[in-house]
Amino acid sequence: MKAGVVKETAPGERRVALVPDAVAKLQAAGIEVLVERGAGEGAWLSDSAYADAGATIVSAAELYRDTDVILTVTKPSADAVGLLRPGQAVIGMLAPLTCPELAAALAAQGVTAISLDRLPRTLTRTQPMDALSSQANVAGYKAALVAAAEFSRFFPLLITAAGTARPAKVLVLGAGVAGLQAIGTARRLGAVVSGYDVRPASKTEVESLGATFIELTAGVSAAGEGGYARELTAEERQAQQDELVAHIARHDVVITTAQVPGRRPPLLVTEDAIKAMAAGSVIVDMGASMLGGNASGSRPGETVVTGNGITIIGADNLPASMPTAASNAYSRNISTLLEYMTADGALAIDTSDEVQAGVVITHDGRVVQEGVAALLAAPPEPAEPEPAEPEPEGGADVDGPAD
């Protein structure tokens, strides 16, 4: 079997699906590795490093023509989809719940689509394949650094001859993998940190990192399936947003990481909350997306300064800003999954296997993953109104968040 490593083409994407260290391991498992010229450049990995590890460096055309499995980080572009052949497989973070039409297109083309972001994450054997966790870990770490870099005061308590600087108060909303890493990193930088999540189980995790857990009197508890949160009802959401205003207002820095799988990120920091914050405060919104994020007025990939002096960073792809760490981890995730699915030198698709039932999205010309098939069969949902945006008076400053 031949596996091909593409050069990512999404704007600002600097990660690569496989690092040279993984090449020999795959070869030992009977998998030959072809690498598109320049694929690792963004992560400081040269073609010669891949060649020295035993890979063959090829053009994009050769890669799509000669390989059985394409390895990617993000969704293939429309151009790349056009290059895929029937019977070929593509493995990556294909976001089939938010982009089911890609799954439909790949099925129609006879391509087997395997998506790491649909991996069942609570099984012991899937831990080394858990790309959502590995990338969230990088993102949470970087979010705290981005916040500290943007904040105009110190994070730690500093006592110097020139006076005492009080520590920054940091609030992390959403205490999953990214949130916990952001909490730990902000704590290591010396900030006084609080955390909040709708899953009650996160309380002990937040506290074990030395942070204070915020409990709302509204008492919203929304543990969903598979360890994830469920989407809140409109009433619950309103109660949560209203009560968070006062908590947000007394913090200098807010890092938001809240996600509900396949849904638009919940709005936690409302326009009222932003208005209540002190000038100079910083919000890093990891949920920022074209559909709206966790913070009102955040824009993916942009930094906005509101009229009352709040900097809102739309940090939508922080792992790409730490491409080497993110690629090293992702490479381990994707190569472990590829080996897991390989038998006798070929990809062995078996959706009766619990892991494969999650990750195999299309096969033999059909969308086989139940959740994605159900989504494609369902009538489209009516569009939700866009959340209100605060006026970016005082000059909206447009900047990449972390590159």
Distance CA 62, CA 71 (A): 14
Q: Closer to ligand NAD by CB, 259 or 296: give it.
A: 259
56: contact with ligand NAD by CB under 6 A: no
Q: Which stretch binds ligand NAD (CB under 6 A): 132-140, 297-305, 307-315, 384-392?
A: 132-140
Q: Counting contacts by CB under 6 A, is residue 297 touching ligand NAD?
A: no
Q: Considering only residues 88, 137, 181, 259, which one is a binding residue for ligand NAD as defined by CB under 6 A? A: 259
Binding to ligand NAD (CB under 6 A) within 322-381 occurs at: none
Minimum CB separation from ligand NAD for residue 196, in Å?
A: 6
| 143 lies in the binding site for ligand NAD (CB under 6 A) | no
Question: Which residues are within 8 A (CB) of 202 and not within 5 positions of it... i.e. 6 or more apart?
Answer: 175, 176, 179, 180, 195, 213
For residue 121, what are its two tokens? Answer: 């994450």
- Name the minimum Å distance from CB 280 to ligand NAD: 25
**Minimum CB distance to ligand NAD smaller for 4 or for 174:** 174
* Residues ≥6 apart with Cβ < 8 Å to 170: 144, 147, 155, 186, 191, 192, 193, 194, 251, 252, 253, 254, 255
Helices 21-28 and 323-340, packing angle to 10 deg: 0
In eight-state DSSP terms, residue 42 is: G
The pair of three-digit structure tokens given for residue 36, joined into one six-digit string = 């598109």
> Tokens standing for 41?
């450049």
Contacting range for ligand NAD; rule: CB under 6 A; set: 3-11, 101-109, 129-137, 339-347: 129-137
- DSSP secondary structure, 54-122, as one string: TPEEE-HHHHHHH-SEEE-SSPPPHHHHHHPPTT-EEEE---TTT-HHHHHHHHHTT-EEEEGGG---S
319 makes contact with ligand NAD (CB under 6 A): no
Minimum Å gap between C-beta 8 and ligand NAD is 22
| Residue closest to ligand NAD, measured at CB | 176
Distance, CA of 262 to CA of 244 (rounded, Å): 24
Window of 14-22, 257-265, 318-326, 369-377 that interacts with ligand NAD by CB under 6 A = 257-265
**Nearest CA-CA partner of 131 in 321, 331, 349:** 331
CB 118 within 8 A of CB 361: yes
Nearer to ligand NAD, 58 or 258 (CB): 258
Minimal distance in Å, beta carbon 216 to ligand NAD? 9
Instruction: For the beta carbon of residue 74, count every other beta carbon within 10 angstroms.
Output: 18
Choose the binding region for ligand NAD from 157-165, 193-201, 342-350, 391-399 (rule: CB under 6 A). 193-201
Q: Find the binding residues for ligand NAD in span 216-245 (CB under 6 A).
A: 227-229, 232
Residues annotated as part of the active site: 121, 127, 130, 133, 228
What is the Cα–Cα distance from 355 to 374, expressed in whole angstroms? 19
Interface pick for ligand NAD out of 92, 176, 292, 319 (rule CB under 6 A):
176
Residues touching ligand NAD, count (CB under 6 A): 29
Among 197, 285, 302, 316, interactor with ligand NAD by CB under 6 A: 197
Binding site for ligand NAD (CB under 6 A): 121-122, 127, 130, 132-133, 136, 173-179, 197-199, 202, 227-229, 232, 257-261, 266, 268
